[in-house]
Amino acid sequence: AELKMLRGEWSAAEQEARSACGELQRWGLLDSVGWAHYQIGEVRLRMGDLDAAAEAFDRAYEYGHDSQPGLALLQLQRGEIDDAARSIGRALAGTVVGEGAMDRAARARLLPAQVDIALAAGDLDTAGTAVAELESIAADFERPVFRAGALTGRGELLLEEHRPAEASPILGRSWRLWQETDLPLESARARIRYAEALAAEGDEATARRDLRAA
């Protein structure tokens, strides 16, 4: 279900997750039931159905899933920026900062949300710290998804620092890497930011083309 969701097959992903909820509950695998409800919330969040996403995240939380980073991103979309910052900060505080692969992978899932939320709050220091950690994880693990996330975060930070000429090549690499890893939504989001950087540089024509492509 998660792979289908990331590739944009939202209806199929939600159907699989809902089927899994029933099966897992019958077998008493409650931790996994929470994970399945979280997947439903992620799908609904990507579809823009914020109320259904909130309901699914609440159900996931009931079954022991922390509902992160989806819950924090839901709060961000609702304009609840302070709540989102506290939420993602609490989630990161519950992970271990260290060399363990599982710990670093867990943080890599959360850090992009912290970047987005911190930038929305105008907190460039927190965003910069999160981007630096993402870059460190990407360098150590050499996974394309981690690399793409780190590039997007760095490009977005540079854009918010009013450095579009530095941001645009980084964001250009990031949306292409997302595309190569078959993650269309992430690619489109990064490409929109790339278009914003181009527009800030004064290249309106290319920016318009990339916005249409995104």
Residue 10 pLDDT greater than 90, yes or no: no
**pLDDT at residue 15, rounded to an integer:** 66
The structure's pTM equals 0.86
- Rounded-to-integer distance, Cα 113 and Cα 87, Å: 10
> How would residue 27 be classed by pLDDT, with cut points 50, 70 and 90?
low
CA-atom Rg of the chain in angstroms:
18
> What pLDDT, in 10s, does the model give residues 33-73?
788 889 899 989 988 999 999 999 999 999 888 999 999 99
Q: Are 69 and 91 in contact (CB under 8 A)?
A: yes
Count how many Cα atoms sit within 13 Å of the Cα of residue 5 in the half-sphere of its side chain: 18
Mean pLDDT of the chain: 89
Task: Enter the tokens of residue 10.
Answer: 């939202």
Nearest residue to 93 (alpha-carbon basis) of 83, 102, 85: 85
Residue 94 predicted with pLDDT over 60: yes
